[in-house]
Structure 1
Amino acid sequence: MTTTAPSPRPAFREVTDANGRVYRIGESARDLLGGPRLLMVVLPWVAMMAISVAEYAFGSAEEVLSSAHGWSSTNTFWVLGFWTVFQAGVAFPTGRLRERGILKARGAMLVGAVLAGLGFFALSYAPNVALAILGFGVLGGAGAGMIYSTCVNIVGKWYPERRGGKTGFVNGGFAYGSVPMIFVFTYSFDAGNYRTVLDWVGVYVLVFVAICGWFFKDPPKNWWPEEVDPIEHSKNAGNKALSKNPPAVRQYEPMEAIRTGMLPLMWFCLVLCSGVSIFGISFQVPFAKEMGFGPLVAASSMGLMSIINGTGRGVTGWVSDRIGRKQTLIAVVLIEGLSQFGVLWAGDIRNEWLFLFFAFVSGFGGGAFFPMFASLTPDYFGENNNAQNYGLVYSSKLVGGLAGSGLGATVVAAWGYSGAYALAGCFGLVAAGLAMLLRQPGRPAPSRVRAKSLQVSGETA
């Protein structure tokens, strides 16, 4: 009997740039994946669309859930608040297990698929709020977080030379993937069928995420696409994306990234941004209904918000490759803050068209910052530890989630929608100010580089 010898593993070599950063070259994505690296964009995108229903469609289902289970509106939103906490909180431990080789990307996706699916079954059959929080909030949130963090950071690993647009595209699926269920929850979801609908949603999430996750695979440490010269890229030669977003000076471990001061600043900025975003996601439909808008306007405003929230992530990712990640982030967060005042004003004057317009603007600003932080993290700290570093940054959403959903419900009850939307808008403006302080660790500011160049020119003149 003859046996066929396995194909030899493609040779690779490591090169080092002027900053001491190592690049592993010689292996194509097809060698490592068995297919094009575009697979690591499409499959994460589909998985992100599948889990988006848990967050972005929850506000549309809240009224029926509260009525069917006999919960108060505030209690129901606390269920979402805990989901957000655990969805964000598992990002760092998941990343740490992945970077240490204990948990593969495929394993994280499969475990996440099971937990996320179980979350919807718990929401369907939980006899009280405490068990709903445990099942949907804790287990479902943790599963969604494992899926989200794995999908987002795997893209940057496979596209280290142009991650902005790709990361934004994948991240966008987490918003507009929920649009069909927003209308289902608004028009075809009631106390008589809510369990059937939630059960089918749970099956849908489990199956789609598991199928996509089966093909997930991380590249080797320091991997760089063979068709791109890493030394030229490190010099930003002839590449507009990298002239605006130069690669990290070196690969930072999590504690090293924290000590730069930039990771904590990103963390706090994302607390404010995510809190404002989740507040809008949670309360836009209830606010529209309280202002007397019909169910079509309420559902359309949330559907429009989700579509623009998602597509805006891809657009800003593409734009950030051209004008700079930090500059794009500042603009997006400024829009997010100002749009909260617009939504409030349109609701107060009972103008449906203005309400839909500001829902559009709010949706854009309330989602586009996520891929900016996801891309800034490896831009600042490198790709090798990105699962952990971005996990730390993204963990800020657990605070923002509680503030935006659970605490937001408390503020609405105490101050009304006027006070809550005004407070959210102010938080957005503060976040824009903080984003102006971000800078890449280890790389001198452009002004100092120019000053040094002028000094050298003067000495040689």
Structure 2
Amino acid sequence: MSKNIKRWQVLVASTVVLLCTGAVYAFSVFAGPMSATKGWSMSEIMLAFTINAAIGPIPMILGGFLTDKGLAKWAIAIGGLLFGLGFFLTGFATSPAMLYLTYGVIGGLGQGLAYSGCLSNTIKLFPDKRGLASGIITAGMGGAAIIAAPIGNYFIQQFDALYAFRVLGIAYMVIVAVASFFIQTAPANYQPEGWTPPQQPGGKPLVNKNWQNMLRTPFFYLIFLMLFTGAFSGLMIASNASVIGQQMFNLSAGTAAFYVSLYSLSNCAGRVVWGTVSDKLGRNHTLSVILSMIIVAFLILVLLSSQLGFATGIVILGLCFGGVMGVFPPMVMENYGPVHQGVNYGIVFCGYSAAAFFAPKVAASMATANKGDFTKAFYVAIVVALVGFALNIVYMQLKKRVIVPAIS
């Protein structure tokens, strides 16, 4: 069976699916026009983004379970179609409650299911290039807004935000349906031809830990918290980029939409670049660099009020957010093995969902309290990144003292 697996085809098809479901990162383009058209407050509208991301653990774990059982193709297809349906139905929202159901719940369930299936299935096919594969597959998720932001903005200008949701929703369902035909399920313990697994530290046998055993290790809690701190800044910007550009840097809606795409392009590139770097430098050394750059980026946004300052900060934060999302999947697999990766990463992903719940709300509430100024929210993000940096040091020190037998 392994000889018939076209792993690069699976990688490309999975990335295409995530180029659809990753459209959630363009939400800030839709939020302002929706508020103006419907009269809903920005806090009410941003809650839909929060629900969409925070609901993630449920479909992530379910998708991981299906993937670990050899049903990745179904998880990806159902998840992608459900996301497209949620997007389409959002175009008929008549109240914030309906928005929460269509975009938040239906879209969130579909996104998590597809993301979990695509990610876990694909990196199982690349035991020799985990960082690269994780980077490319998650780049689809991060880069989706590059496409969605300008197209969405075009339809918003020509019609309205609800029309844009309907058109994009239909397009996503069609694309996912076609891409699903090219998805293949990774065989158990897949090894590419000509590749030999590296020797483990101390010559110990390879160990695959299920989620119960994972929860018994101290590394799980550190990884969980590090993912929270790493994703916090990226989610804060992803949900508010257009609003920040317009309110703090006096950009037009069209220019702000361009910077949303630029952020997404950086996010996309960061997943591939940092994923590849982490294959050489190591996951945790790479994470230290990423967290340091996050701090620098927020200081730039605070100190430079020009469009150049906004562009510089946005690019760096996009690269770093992408790096965080590309580094953690292989980190989990290296600690707990590939057999239960789907469920294990789904549980760890709760750290991302926790960040998705808090980051947008913190930013929106602080901006509202300070007449559209996000400066105080940026300082909070800096503190969170510093905590993540400290946790990463603790993790590395523990790793030096304890040899954990797992997949390298």
> What is the TM-score when the length of structure 2 is the normalising length?
0.91
Is 1:189–2:176 an aligned residue pair?
no
Q: 1:223 aligns with which of 167, 187, 190?
A: 190
Cα 1:218/1:338, change in 2 over 3 Å: same
Is 1:157–2:130 an aligned residue pair?
no
In the aligned structure 2, how far is the partner of 1:406 from the partner of 1:426? Answer: 16
- Residue 211 of structure 2 corresponds to 254
Q: How far has the Cα of 1:148 moved from its partner?
A: 0.8
In the aligned structure 2, how far is the partner of 1:249 from the partner of 1:406? Answer: 42
- Residue 110 of structure 1 corresponds to 77
Stretch deviating more after TM superposition (313-322 or 205-214):
205-214
Amino acid at match of 2:239: S
Q: How far has the Cα of 1:95 moved from its partner?
A: 1.2
Q: Judge conservation of contact 1:312–1:368 (CA < 8 Å) in 2.
A: yes
- 1:339-350 to structure 2, matched below 5 A, reads 339-346=297-304, 349=305
- Residue 330 of structure 1 corresponds to 288
In the aligned structure 2, how far is the partner of 1:196 from the partner of 1:160? Answer: 43
- Residue 425 of structure 1 corresponds to 382
Give the share of equivalent positions with the same residue, in percent: 23
- Residue 43 of structure 1 corresponds to 13
Cα 1:296/1:203, change in 2 over 3 Å: closer
Amino acid at match of 1:327: H
Q: Please state whether the residue corresponding to 1:222 is helix, strand or coil.
A: coil
In structure 1, stretches of 5+ residues that fail to align are 1-26, 237-245, 447-461
In the aligned structure 1, how far is the partner of 2:179 from the partner of 2:401? Answer: 41
Q: Please state whether the residue corresponding to 2:45 is helix, strand or coil.
A: helix
Is 1:267–2:224 an aligned residue pair?
yes
Q: 1:67 aligns with which of 19, 28, 36?
A: 36
Q: Judge conservation of contact 1:87–1:143 (CA < 8 Å) in 2.
A: no
Amino acid at match of 1:96: F
Cα 1:90/1:97, change in 2 over 3 Å: same
- Residue 199 of structure 2 corresponds to 234
Stretch deviating more after TM superposition (381-390 or 193-202):
193-202
- Residue 306 of structure 1 corresponds to 264
Is 1:384–2:353 an aligned residue pair?
no
Q: How far has the Cα of 1:249 moved from its partner?
A: 4.3
> What is the TM-score when the length of structure 1 is the normalising length?
0.81
1:222-275 deviations in whole A, cap 9, x for unaligned? 232232123xx2259xxxxxxxxx999411111111111111211111122222
Cα 1:247/1:57, change in 2 over 3 Å: farther
- Residue 400 of structure 1 corresponds to 355
In the aligned structure 2, how far is the partner of 1:301 from the partner of 1:402? Answer: 23
Q: Please state whether the residue corresponding to 2:207 is helix, strand or coil.
A: coil
- Residue 23 of structure 1 corresponds to none
Stretch deviating more after TM superposition (316-325 or 290-299):
290-299
Q: Judge conservation of contact 2:90–2:166 (CA < 8 Å) in 1.
A: no
Q: 2:320 aligns with which of 365, 374, 388?
A: 365
- Count, aligned residues: 401
Is 1:126–2:93 an aligned residue pair?
yes
Q: Judge conservation of contact 2:67–2:121 (CA < 8 Å) in 1.
A: no
Q: How far has the Cα of 1:283 moved from its partner?
A: 1.6
Q: Please state whether the residue corresponding to 2:7 is helix, strand or coil.
A: coil
Q: Please state whether the residue corresponding to 2:258 is helix, strand or coil.
A: helix
1:277-320 deviations in whole A, cap 9, x for unaligned? 11111122211111312335422322211111111110111111
In the aligned structure 1, how far is the partner of 2:186 from the partner of 2:271? Answer: 24
Q: Judge conservation of contact 2:33–2:160 (CA < 8 Å) in 1.
A: no
1:335-381 deviations in whole A, cap 9, x for unaligned? 123312222322xx3x1112211211111112211110011011111
- Residue 245 of structure 2 corresponds to 288
Cα 1:304/1:81, change in 2 over 3 Å: same
Cα 1:315/1:247, change in 2 over 3 Å: farther
In the aligned structure 1, how far is the partner of 2:400 from the partner of 2:312? Answer: 41
In the aligned structure 1, how far is the partner of 2:264 from the partner of 2:204? Answer: 31
Q: How far has the Cα of 1:126 moved from its partner?
A: 1.4
Q: Please state whether the residue corresponding to 2:127 is helix, strand or coil.
A: coil
1:378-436 deviations in whole A, cap 9, x for unaligned? 11110000001111111222211111223432232235411111111211121122122
Q: Please state whether the residue corresponding to 2:133 is helix, strand or coil.
A: helix
In the aligned structure 1, how far is the partner of 2:226 from the partner of 2:333? Answer: 17
Amino acid at match of 2:368: A
In the aligned structure 2, how far is the partner of 1:290 from the partner of 1:406? Answer: 17
In the aligned structure 2, how far is the partner of 1:300 from the partner of 1:323? Answer: 33
- Residue 170 of structure 1 corresponds to 137
Q: Between Structure 1 and Structure 2, which shows a larger proportion of helix residues?
A: 2
Cα 1:285/1:194, change in 2 over 3 Å: closer
In the aligned structure 2, how far is the partner of 1:186 from the partner of 1:88? Answer: 30
Q: Please state whether the residue corresponding to 2:344 is helix, strand or coil.
A: helix
Q: How far has the Cα of 1:439 moved from its partner?
A: 4.8
Q: Please state whether the residue corresponding to 2:185 is helix, strand or coil.
A: coil
- Residue 135 of structure 1 corresponds to 102
In the aligned structure 2, how far is the partner of 1:99 from the partner of 1:235? Answer: 23
1:25-63 deviations in whole A, cap 9, x for unaligned? xx6x333x3xx2111211111111111112x21001111
Q: Judge conservation of contact 2:297–2:312 (CA < 8 Å) in 1.
A: no
